[in-house]
Structure 1
Amino acid sequence: MRESEFHDVRWIEGESTSILLDNGKIEDIKTNYGNGCGVRALCGGSWGYTSSEGVDGIDAAIKAAIELASDVDKHSPREKVSLASYSEPNVDNLPSIKENPRDVPVEEKVELLKDLSNNASCKGISSTSASYSESTLKIHYTNSEGADCEYELTRVGFAISAIASDGAAYQVGRESNFDVCGYEMFRDPEILEKAQSAGKTAVDLLGARQAKGGKGPVILDPELAGVFAHEAVGHASEADLVLEGSSILADRIGEEIASPLVNIIDDPTLHKFGYYPFDAEGMQSHRTDIITDGILNSYLHSRETAGKLGGASGNSRSQGYSAPVVRMSNTYVDNGNSNLDEMLEELGDGIYLAGSRGGQVNTGEGVFQFNAEKGYIVEDGEIGDLVRDVSLSGNTLQILKNVVLVGNDLKMHSGRCGKSGQAVPVSDGSPHLLISDALVGGVQ
């Protein structure tokens, strides 16, 4: 068996609680505890990875990972991996927790969800679902280069959905918020207003007409524009996808790929849901300017991809003990100089798209399709009738070039991002964007 050139260990201790209410009644309450480690070893160009539960298995896990890497390298040798250099991170920017959620009785959390359900249950709502989550994780990282660092982080959040039905059709309104903070989030009365908004959205959409499809100018609200920044641009900037040939942004560093008004940033140092002080490889978190004044400036990197392509690593992430992969954190379009009224006036006649109901993107071909939660017909610069079942689709690079105004009202939204079978906390956001020409899906 060969000795490894490198190995590292991520030790994780965690506690989480989740509560689910269906129509105001308790559906599920779970509290989970765990501790264990994920271990990697590198031999030549091959990685070995293993994990272990409990406190006594680290040495055995390291030995197993080295054996795996050595066997793979012996039987299927690959080009030698050169990792970007390592330096110990400074862990000095942790978010403050004003009220530890573990100190709040579960009965109070259940009452909170009941209040959310009641506020979402306006006239016309047939059912509601409310969920609460909290987690506290302690991450301890060491490697064969002498690294030894750790941090502890608490995340909390909620989601509320409301369904309106007329017997033949139904519509859903949903609101949520997740953050790196304590239970103080739930002392803010605005969360009850979010629940009311979920109910109102469902009822309003049930009575709305379907959108008419076609090409033309559109305004994207901060939530939908943030989803575009994350899904269509952020994933395409992940350097592992670039190396796999699965990114439209390959070989474009230094190229103008967007309107000069567009600046897209990924920043794990922001105290948002995607925050971390160092990544899953123990590398210092840092802001990455992906697009600057329309020019592709940087990819997101692990130590391996930075070693191959150049650039700064610090974007490896993992769910639990899983193997790290290149991931986003808090990804957003930066503020511009316009306000919404100016955009509406410039738009004239078109459509205003708001909210997100998911979608799909092909980073290799650079095409996407996202479903908006709702749309509004705009005539003579005035927001008019609500429409439903509306989507935005097109070519990523063409849409970036078609941005003609960028708002000054950046807002962030939180959620979880899936990749390689793992989901990690992220935030994305944007100000309003005016796009001169896009394909809007609806009835023909």
Structure 2
Amino acid sequence: MSEVGFYDVRMIDGTSTSIILDNGNIEEISVNYSKGCGARALCGGSWGFTTAEGEFDLKATIDSASELAAQMNSISPKDEVKLKPVEKPVIKNIPIAKIDPADVPIEEKVQLLKDIEDHAKMDGVSSTSAVYSEASVKVHYISSEGIDCEYSLIRTGFAISAVATENGSYQVGRESRFGVCGFELFEKNDALALARSAGETAVELLEAEQAKGGTLPVILDPELAGVFAHEAVGHASEADLVLEGSSILADRLGEQIASPLVNIIDDPTLHEYGYYPFDSEGVMSSKTTIIKEGVLNSYLHSRETAQALGGTPGNSRAQGYSEPVVRMSNTYIDNGDSNFDEMLEEIGNGMYLTGSRGGQVNTGEGIFQFNAEKGYLIENGEVTRLLRDVSLSGKTLEILNNVALVGNDLKMHSGRCGKGGQLAPVSDGSPHISITKALVGGV
């Protein structure tokens, strides 16, 4: 039986609190404690992976993962997996919570959430819901290569939704803010004003015109352009998908795949929701320029994919004790030097799309479809009528090449990204961008 050449362990100790309100009623108040570890072992070309919860025996967990790897390697040998060599991470500049949420009484959190929800209620709004979440986690990583490092982080956030209904149709307004910070999140953001905005959006959209589809020039706001950067470009740049043959960006490194105005970056060192000081393989976080002046510059890598394709690791992430997979962190289109007024003047007639209501992407075929929260007609260089149920779809590479202007008003938005059955905190963002032509649909 072959010997195990490498192992690593992530030990996690965490506490999370969640409060959910539905129409002013407390649906849930939950406090969860988690303690455990995930261990990997590599034997030849086979990985063994095991988890343990609660109090665990570290040596027994490593042995269990090692036995699995050795068994798999003897039963079904594969080509040897090699890992890109890495240095021990230097832990620095970790975000510090100014107000530890654990020091704020649960009654105060519930009352704040009720106030937030109240501000979303107005004439026309039929239902509201609000969520508060906080999580503190300590991550300790060790490996057979002698890396031993740890960090602690606190994440806090809230979301508010309002639904407006009229004559059988309904519209939703939603606002949220999540950050790598403590309860000071509510000092940095006017949660009550955001809640009011969610309610107003829902009511306004009931009165909005139905969008008419077609191919036309569009301006995307920072939120929707950020979703495009994350979903259509970021996922396609994840090197595990590239190796699987599930990415439109495979074999295109060094190619001009976008307008020279486009720079797309993934940066886990930013103090945004996707921050981490080192990834789930103990690799120090660093900024990756995915697209540089329109040229595909780099994929996002784990140690295994970085060795296979040539690149820099640091984007391997896991939810809790799960097995690490290649993931984004804080992904954004970098600032250009245009502004919104220039874009309106340049477009003349088209559409302005704002906000996001999700969508879908096929990274292998390079096609996508996103739903905007709002649309506005642009007529003679002026933003005019509000439109509802607007979608944006097309081919990723065509849209990238059709970018005509990039604004200088980069803004980030936070959320959670799903991949491989795991959720990870991320942020995405962009300045306003202008696209010469895109397929816009009315639902």
* Counterpart in the other structure of 1:25: 25
Spell out the pairing of 1:272-287 with structure 2 (5 A cutoff): 272-287=272-287
Q: Distance in 2 between matches of 1:219 and 1:111?
A: 39
Deviations for 1:200-259, whole angstroms, at most 9, x for unmatched residues?
A: 000000111110000010000000000000000000000000000000000111000000
Q: Name the aligned partner's letter for residue 427 of structure 1.
A: S
2:66 counterpart of 1:66: yes
Match of 2:421 in 1: 421
Is it true that 1:390 corresponds to 2:390 in the alignment? yes
Residues 277-336 of structure 1: CA deviation (Å, up to 9, x unaligned): 000000000000000000000000000000101111000000000000000000000000
Q: Spell out the pairing of 1:49-128 with structure 2 (5 A cutoff).
A: 49-128=49-128
* Superposed displacement of residue 93, structure 1: 1.4
Aligned to 1:193: 193
Q: How much does 1:186 deviate?
A: 1.4
Query: Is the CA contact 2:268–2:285 (under 8 Å) kept in the aligned structure 1?
Result: yes
**Partners in 2 of 1:126 and 1:178 — Cα distance?**
26
Measured in 1, the distance between the counterparts of 2:222 and 2:56 equals: 48
Number of the residue aligned with 1:312? 312
Aligned partners of 1:236 and 1:363 also within 8 Å: yes
Q: Aligned equivalents of 1:262 and 1:189: distance in 2?
A: 30
Partner Cα separation in structure 2 for residue 124 and residue 100 of structure 1: 37
Q: Displacement, 1:71?
A: 1.0
Could you tell me how far 1:24 is from its partner in structure 2?
1.3
- Residue type matched to 2:133 in 1? S
Q: Give 1:103-182 correspondences, 5 Å limit.
A: 103-182=103-182
Question: What is the CA-CA distance between 1:187 and the residue it aligns to?
Answer: 2.8
- The answer on 1:221 being equivalent to 2:221 is yes
- Residue identity matched to 1:228: F
Distance in 1 (CA, whole Å) between partners of 2:238 and 2:346 is 34
* 1:329-344 to 2 correspondences below 5 Å: 329-344=329-344
Provide the C-alpha distance between the structure 2 equivalents of 1:177 and 1:38, rounded to a whole number of angstroms: 30
Tell me the CA shift for residue 192 of structure 1: 1.1
1:57 and 1:172 map into 2 onto residues whose CA distance is: 49
Q: For residue 237 of structure 2, what is the aligned residue in structure 1?
A: 237
Q: In the aligned structure 1, how far is the partner of 2:197 from the partner of 2:270?
A: 27
Q: Secondary structure at the match of 1:194?
A: helix
Residue equivalent to 2:411: 411
* Percent of aligned pairs with the same amino acid: 68
User: Which stretch shows the higher mean deviation, 302-311 or 55-64?
Assistant: 55-64
TM-score, normalised via structure 2 length: 0.99
CA distance in 2, matches of 1:401, 1:323: 36
- In the alignment, is the contact (CA less than 8 A) between 1:164 and 1:172 conserved in 2? yes
Q: Are 1:52 and 1:58, in contact at CA under 8 Å, matched by a contact in 2?
A: no
Distance verdict in 2 for CA 1:54–1:2, change over 3 Å: farther
Supply the AA of the counterpart residue of 1:428.
Answer: D
> Which piece of structure 1 moves more, 56-65 or 365-374?
56-65
Aligned mates of 1:350, 1:236 — CA distance in 2 = 28
User: Matched residues in 2 for 1:355 and 1:389: separation?
Assistant: 12
Displacement after TM superposition at 1:189 (Å) = 5.7
1:347 is aligned to: 347
Superposed displacement of residue 56, structure 1 = 2.7
Q: How many residues align?
A: 443
Gaps of 5+ in 2: none
* 1:2, distance to aligned residue in structure 2 (A): 3.1
Q: Do the aligned partners of 2:2 and 2:44 also contact (CA within 8 Å) in 1?
A: no
**Cα distance in 1, alignment partners of residues 305 and 162 from structure 2:** 43
CA contact (8 A) 1:16 1:31 kept: yes
Q: Matched residue of 2:145: which SS?
A: coil
Q: CA RMSD in A?
A: 0.8
Q: Which amino acid aligns with 1:244?
A: E
